Amino acid sequence: MSDLNEHALAPRRFQATLLTVFSGIALFLAIVGVYGLLAYTVRHRTGEIGLRMALGSSRAGIAKLILNEGLSLLLAGLAIGIAGGVAFAHLLRGFLYEIPALDPYLCAGAHATILRNTDRLSSSDYSGRYHRPYNRSPS
């Protein structure tokens, strides 16, 4: 009887596993994408950041400026993602078992994961670790 049950549920289990794997990949790509955008912005604003520091701005003030910009982009992306998720939730109902398509805990957990990991990556020293300013002195 259990073999028959496993055989009947095998396609659904495979679909659920596949959906979980692709969701994890999508979450990872979202986190890396936001980090990449923030690192790109910081790298191209090194002159402005240097000027601000030369004029007396503190590291905390500069970090706050960059993180506020990154957070505003992140919140805009999350708003677009939530709207898209609500719009396409009816397509997922066939794959879900005993979980509503718009489960608030699941949605909040996914968004909190993106926020936490993006904040962790952007507030660390990753963005400047590999970038060294070029020596612009004449040779």
Phi, psi of 64 (to 5 degrees): -65, -40
Distance of CA 115 to the CA centre of its chain: 7
Residue 139 has pLDDT above 50, yes or no: no
Report the domain count for the chain.
Answer: 1
In a domain, 69, yes or no: yes
The candidate with the shortest Cα–Cα distance to 62, out of 11, 125, 108, is 125
The candidate with the shortest Cα–Cα distance to 127, out of 71, 74, 67, is 67
In a domain, 52, yes or no: yes
Q: What pLDDT, on the 0 to 100 scale, is given for residue 123?
A: 60
What is the pLDDT confidence band of residue 122, given thresholds at 50, 70 and 90?
Answer: low
pLDDT tens, residue by residue, 25-84: 988 888 888 788 888 888 888 898 889 999 998 888 888 888 888 788 878 888 898 888
Q: What pLDDT, on the 0 to 100 scale, is given for residue 119?
A: 67
Q: What pLDDT, on the 0 to 100 scale, is given for residue 117?
A: 75
Q: Residue 66: which domain range? A: 27-128
